[in-house]
Copies of this chain bind each other. A is one copy, B any other.
Amino acid sequence: MTQTTAAPNQITVTTESASAQQAAADAGGNAKGKRRGAKPVVAKQLGGAIRQRNEERILRAAAEVFASAGYKGTSVQAIADKVELPKANILYYFKSKAGLYTAVLNDILEMWNQGFDERAIEREPADVIREYILAKMRYSRTRPQESKIFATEIIHGAPVIRDAIDLPMVGWTKQKASVIQAWVAQGKMRAIEPLYLLFLIWGTTQFYADFDSEIAMIKGRALSDEEFSKAEDFVVETVLRGLALI
């Protein structure tokens, strides 16, 4: 919900203000309003108090179910059961299952672009990269559901968010890559292809969220906070050494 740092020079607009709002709009029910002369004027802020509360609850429940069962594996009824509302009611707020899924994904995308901060390029690579890895690791830890939904979506070729994410994603990535490239040019780190570094970080951090069940299998239980913290340290140290920054 809250817009984090955000690259200033990005087309984030497409994803944030624009598409988030728009998603809320076409996800929001009450299609009937349109039938006759659209009486309710334009839109008095879209959504009464009740609506807002319920949409939030539904979204939360939906994320849970989508994460654990996948899009196709999720039935609207299952979500309804979880929020304890009749199915018809949730279809009243989100006019289709697809609309609900899109809304969930938009919420996720808002959080996805945790970038290097604006002054990254002037700072020490080691510091920026450390912070970036930690941010990603923490996201995996605190939002495994969202991470899973995102991963599943991408694995299946991003059928739903393709258009919403395509351009912005390219932008975010290019920006990060160019910062890294600059560091290399300045001789601040060993010569590497920035993209592959990003992939290594994304892959590793994503693993902790997406494969938590595998980790639990292996360890016999989930990672404790201390263990996770150790894992964070390991990733940071290994990457920094790997880049010859330590």
A residues adjacent to B (C-beta < 8 A):
68-73, 148, 151-152, 154-158, 162, 165-166, 169-170, 173, 192-193, 195-197, 199-200, 202-208, 210-211, 213-215, 217-220, 230-231, 234-235, 237-244
The answer to whether A217 touches B156 (Cβ under 8 A) is: no
Name the residue in A69, A169, A192, A242 with the highest tally of chain B Cβ atoms < 10 Å from its Cβ.
A242
Q: Given the complex of chains A and B, what is the CA–CA distance between A61 and B69 in angstroms?
A: 23
- What is the CA–CA distance of A202 and B73 in the complex, to the nearest angstrom? 26
Q: A204 is contacted by which of B200, B218, B230, B244 (Cβ under 8 Å)? A: B200
- Let me know if B207 and A199 touch, CB within 8 A: yes
Residue of B69, B156, B193 near A156 (CB, 8 A) is: B69
Distance, CA A203 to CA B133, complexed state (A): 14
A218 partner, pick from B69, B169, B206, beta carbons under 8 A: B169
Q: How far is the CB of A71 from chain B (nearest CB, A)?
A: 7
Q: Which of B69, B199, B214, B240 is A215 in contact with, Cβ under 8 Å?
A: B199
Q: Specify how many copies of this chain sit in the oligomer.
A: 2
Residues of B close to A204: CB separation below 8 A = 199-200, 203-204
Q: Which among A204, A219, A243 has the greatest number of chain B C-beta atoms within 10 A? A: A204
> Shortest distance in angstroms between A17's beta carbon and chain B's nearest beta carbon?
22
Are A152 and B154 touching (Cβ within 8 A)?
no
* Chain A binding surface SS class: helix
User: With contacts A148-B155, A152-B70 known, is A238 near B243, CB below 8 A?
Assistant: yes
B157 near A218 with CB under 8 A, answer no
A115 to B206: give the CA distance in the assembly, Å: 23
Residue of B nearest to A192 (CB): B234
Chain B residue numbers with a CB within 8 Å of A239 are 238, 242
> Is the Cβ of A173 less than 8 Å from the Cβ of B71?
no
Q: A169-B214, A234-B192 are in contact. Are A151 and B155 (CB under 8 A)?
A: yes
Which B residues are in CB contact (< 8 Å) with A242?
Answer: 237-242
